[in-house]
Structure 1
Amino acid sequence: MSKRPRSSKSSFSKWFPVAFSVLLLTIAASLIGYFIGLHQAQDDLISERRQSQKLIEQIRELAAIDESNLTSVRSKDNTNEKEIRRLKKELEDLLKRERMHEEVKPQHEYAPAPPPPPEKRSLRPAGSEAKLVIIMDDVSYAHDVKAIQSTGLPLVMSFLPPSSRHPDSALLAKQQHMYMVHLPLEAMAFDEVEPNTLTVESTEDEIEKRLSILKQLYPHAHYMNNHTGSKFTSDSEAMDRLIRVMQKEGLQFVDSRTIATTKGREAAAKYGMRYLVRDVFLDDKDGVENVKKQIKEAVEKAKRYGTAIAIGHPRVDTIEALKESKDLLKEVHLVSIDQI
C-alpha cells in the first residue's frame, strides 16, 4: 500500500502554535524591554535632573563666591584707585614745585625779527630829572614777589592772569600798592600758551569781556603790557580793537615791543592815547654781567631822554644784577609806570 503525502493543512496546524508562541514571546520581550527602557530612561532623566539641579546649586554657590570676590576686588580696586590718585596728586604737586623754582626764561617774549632802532626822541632838558621804570614781567608766585622785594628797589610787578599753573597771582597782586597786568597776546610761535590768550581773531566783544574780567581780578591795575604778542601787536586791526576797548575801560597799554613791526604807536595815536613802550630788555641773555650791561643801557637812556622803560623777569641772574647795580641806579629816579 502506497504512502500519501502530508497535507499542508496538517503542517500549518503543527507549526502555527510554535510560531505564534515565538511571536508572543517576541512581543512580550519587546514590551518588557520597552518598559524596562522607559523606566531606565525615567531613572536616567531623574538622575540628569538631579545632576542639573546639583550643578545649578554649584553655579549659584560659585556665583556667590565670585560676587564676594568681586566685591573684594572692587574694594581693592577702589583702594588702588585712591592710591593712584594720591600718587598722581603728589606727582603734580612735585612738578608744580619744580616749575615754580625753574628759571623764568624770557626768550618766549621775543619774535625772530630784531627790534627796530629807537625812534628819535627829544633830549632831556638840562636840570630835569631822569626817570627809569623797571617792570618785572611774569610775576606768578609768592617766591617771585619775595625775590623782587629782596632787591629793596621800587620795581613794578606785572602779574600774569591766574591759571591752573599759577592760581594765586591775582591774590598776590592785591597785596601790592601798585602793579600791572601782563596781558597774554598771540605770538608768532609759543613756548607755552597761557589760558585765555587774546588772538588776532578775537572780536571786540571778546576783548571787552576778557578785560572786564581782568579788571575785577586786578581792581587797582590801570596799566597792562603784553605777554608775548608778536603776532597780535603786529596786526593793525587786532591792535585797533584792543586799544579802542582799553580806552573805553580806562586802561593804558604798555608795549613790550616783542616784534619790530608792532602797530602799538599807530593804534595809540588814533585814539589819542599815550604810547608807552619798552626801551630795554634786561635779561635777554643769561648771566649777571649781561644783565648789568642792560641795566647800564637803561640808565643811560633815561639820562639821555628823561625817561626810559626797562623790562626784566624775576630770575636769579636778574635779581642779583639789580642788587649789584644799586649805585648805578642812584643816577636816575626809579619810578612807577604812572609817574612818567
Structure 2
Amino acid sequence: MHKRPRPHKISFLQYLGAGLAALILLIAAIFIGYFIGFNQAEEDLAAERNQTQQLVEQIKQIAAIDESYVSAAKPKISRQEMEIRRLKKELQALLEQERLREPVKPQHEYAPKDKEAVPPPAATRPVRPAGAPAKLVIIIDDVSYPRDVKAIQSTGLPLVMSFLPPSSRHPDSAKLAQEQNRYMIHLPLEAMDYDAEEPLTLRIGDSEETIAKRIDTLKKLFPKARYVNNHTGSKFTADEPEMEKLIRVLEKGGIQFVDSRTTAQTKVPESSRLLGIRYIGRDVFLDHQDGVENVKKQIREAVEKAKRHGTAVAIGHPRPDTIQALIESKSLLNEVDLVGIEQI
C-alpha cells in the first residue's frame, strides 16, 4: 500500500524555489541597475570634462585677445609703466636699505672706498687773541629723517643741523628743516669716487645758470637757510673756477659756503679770497672712527682748537656713537661757547 505525498512538504519546496528565483532576479536587477548607473555616470563625467575643456579653451582665447590688446596699447603707456617699475624697484631697494641700515659713517664724505682713511687736514689759522672767547660750532650732517632730528634734539645741545635736499630717498627733509629755528643745507657736490650720489648733485661743468637754478630751488625749499656745507664734493671743491661760480651764486642769494674740507686739495680758500668772502672751514670730524670713546676724543680736540684759535667748526653725523658721546661730553663742552655759524 503506497503512501500519499504530504501536501505541506510540496508547498514548502515550491515556496523555496519561488523565493530563490525572486532573489536571483533581484540580484540581477541590482547589477543591471549598477552598470546602467555607472555608464550614465561615466557619460555625465565625460560631458563635464568636455565642458571644462571648452571653458579652458575659451579662457585661453580671451587671454590671447587680452594679451594682443595690451601689446597693441603698450607703446602708449610704456614710459609710464617703466617709471612705475623704476619707482617700485627703488622703493623695494629703500625698504631693504632701511631694514639693513647701518649708521652713516663720515668716510663717504671724503674717502668712500677707503674705510681707514683719515679726514683731510684743517686749514691753518692764527692763535686766539688774549681774552677772546672760545666758540665752537658743531654741525651734524646728513640730517634726513625724523629719527635724525629726534636723536640730535635728545642731546639738549645747540647743535646745527645740516639737511640733505629732499629726494625720493628722503622726501621730507625740507619739511623737517622748516620746523627748526636754525639749520643749514648739506649741498651735494661731485666727488672723485662715490657710488651713491644724491639726485641733482652739482657737477664739474655745470653752467652758472644751472647752478643758479638749483640754488634758487633750494632757497624755496629751505627759506631760512643762510649757510650751506658740501656733501661729498672732493672733485668739485678742488676745482677753483667751479667754486668761484658756486660761491658767486650763493653770495647773490645771501648764503655763505662752509667748506667741509672733504679733500686736502680744496680750492675754497682761494675762491673765497678772490671774491672777497671770509673763508669758513671744518676743523674736526667727530666720528670718522667707531666707538663712543673715539668720538669723545675728537670732541676734546674740537674744544682745544676752539680755545687755541678762538673759533672751531666740528662736523659729525646722527650716529648712535656720536649722539652718546656728545651727551657724555657736556661738562667738557661747557668750557667753550656752543654757537651757530653766524656767531663766529
Short-chain TM bin: 0.7 to 0.9
Alpha-carbon distance between aligned partners in 2 of 1:161 and 1:65, rounded to the nearest angstrom: 55
Asked if 1:212 is matched to 2:216, the reply is yes
Alpha-carbon distance between aligned partners in 2 of 1:114 and 1:283, rounded to the nearest angstrom: 10
Equivalent in the alignment of 1:180: 184
**Alpha-carbon shift at residue 178 of structure 1 (Å):** 0.5
Alpha-carbon distance between aligned partners in 2 of 1:67 and 1:127, rounded to the nearest angstrom: 93
Matched AA of 1:103: P
Equivalent in the alignment of 1:160: 164
**Alpha-carbon shift at residue 237 of structure 1 (Å):** 1.2
SS class of match (2:236): helix
Mapped contact 1:185–1:227 kept (Cα < 8 A): yes
Equivalent in the alignment of 2:251: 247
Alpha-carbon distance between aligned partners in 2 of 1:331 and 1:205, rounded to the nearest angstrom: 45
Equivalent in the alignment of 1:94: 95
Alpha-carbon distance between aligned partners in 2 of 1:171 and 1:331, rounded to the nearest angstrom: 34
Matched AA of 1:97: E
Equivalent in the alignment of 2:328: 324
Instruction: Report the aligned-residue RMSD.
Output: 2.6
- How many residues in Structure 1 have an aligned counterpart in Structure 2? 269
**Alpha-carbon shift at residue 97 of structure 1 (Å):** 3.1
Question: Unpaired runs of 5+ in structure 2?
Answer: 1-51, 71-84, 112-116
Equivalent in the alignment of 2:130: 126
Asked if 1:146 is matched to 2:150, the reply is yes
- CA displacement 1:65-84 (0-9 Å, x = unmatched): 63434557979xx9xxxxxx
Specify whether residues 293 and 70 from structure 1 end up closer, same or farther in structure 2 by C-alpha distance, changes over 3 A only. farther
Equivalent in the alignment of 1:20: none
Question: Unpaired runs of 5+ in structure 1?
Answer: 1-60, 79-84
Mapped contact 2:228–2:256 kept (Cα < 8 A): yes
Asked if 1:104 is matched to 2:104, the reply is yes
SS class of match (1:135): strand
Alpha-carbon distance between aligned partners in 2 of 1:310 and 1:113, rounded to the nearest angstrom: 15
Instruction: Indicate the structure (1 or 2) with the bigger Cα radius of gyration.
Output: 1
Question: Paired residue for 1:195, among 196, 199, 202?
Answer: 199
- CA displacement 1:271-290 (0-9 Å, x = unmatched): 11111100000011111111
Equivalent in the alignment of 2:272: 268
Matched AA of 2:246: L
Mapped contact 1:113–1:260 kept (Cα < 8 A): no
Matched AA of 2:202: L
Matched AA of 1:306: G
Mapped contact 1:108–1:191 kept (Cα < 8 A): no
Structure-2-length-normalised TM-score: 0.72
**Alpha-carbon shift at residue 115 of structure 1 (Å):** 2.4
Structure-1-length-normalised TM-score: 0.73
